[in-house]
């Protein structure tokens, strides 16, 4: 089994960026547990997003606490974990971070995001949510410890390969 340089990997980006697909691929590759942050939202939060309303910081605070607890539970038990989570703001990323946390930021052009969301079936996160997601997004800057920055507008296999290549480079350092 390949070794990850991190016990926790958080795949971040706005809705439609491919977090779940990449996260599942990374979890399978490293033999880690996969968690989808969407599963930790309350029914009220999901209903709000389904109406195209973005969540506020107050809406997200208990959700972030649940995510942090889940990450700690898995790593305390010796399991590696991959979390697919929007982590739109630097403060959210700080709240989720631990000593062995790496982030993978999925950067996708707005037009590609809109198309993906319009074609998505069975999710509460529709294209109407995209403007609020983009407005809330604080792209990781050079002063933030984001581990990997991946252009994710390509085939899912190529995105996974790029992320794994960049993580391996981090591990080699």
Mean pLDDT of the chain: 84
Q: Where are the domains of the chain?
A: 8-172
Sign of torsion over alpha carbons 57, 60, 65, 71: negative
Residue 33: phi, psi to the nearest 5? -75, 140
Query: Is the pLDDT at 28 greater than 80, yes or no?
Result: yes
Q: Check residue 119 and give its pLDDT.
A: 67
CB of 86 within 8 A of CB of 16? no
Mean pLDDT along residues 17-39: 94
CATH topology assigned to domain 8-172: Rossmann fold (3.40.50)
Report the C-alpha gap between 42 and 82 in whole angstroms.
Answer: 21
The pair of structure tokens assigned to 77 is: 């038990």
Rounded to two decimals, what is the model's pTM?
0.86
- What is each CA distance from 61 to 37, 93, 113, 154, 167, in whole angstroms? 13, 12, 25, 32, 29
User: pLDDT per residue over 59-86, tens digit each?
Assistant: 889 999 999 999 999 999 899 999 999 8
């Amino acid at each position: 089994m390949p070794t990850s340089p991190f016990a926790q990997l958080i795949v971040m980006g706005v809705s439609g960026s491919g977090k779940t697909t990449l996260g599942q691929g990374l979890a399978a590759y490293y033999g880690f547990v996969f968690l989808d942050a969407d599963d930790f939202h309350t029914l009220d939060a999901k209903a709000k997003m389904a109406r195209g309303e973005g969540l506020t910081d107050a809406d997200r605070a208990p959700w972030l606490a649940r995510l942090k607890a889940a990450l700690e539970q898995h790593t305390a038990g010796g399991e590696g974990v991959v979390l697919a989570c929007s982590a739109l703001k630097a403060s959210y990323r700080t709240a989720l971070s631990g000593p062995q946390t790496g982030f993978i930021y999925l950067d996708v052009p707005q037009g590609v995001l809109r198309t993906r969301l319009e074609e998505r079936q069975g999710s509460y996160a529709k294209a109407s949510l995209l403007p609020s997601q983009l407005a809330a997004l604080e792209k990781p800057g050079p002063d933030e410890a984001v581990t990997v920055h991946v252009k994710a507008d390509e085939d899912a296999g190529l995105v996974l390969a790029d992320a794994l290549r960049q993580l391996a480079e981090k591990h080699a350092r």
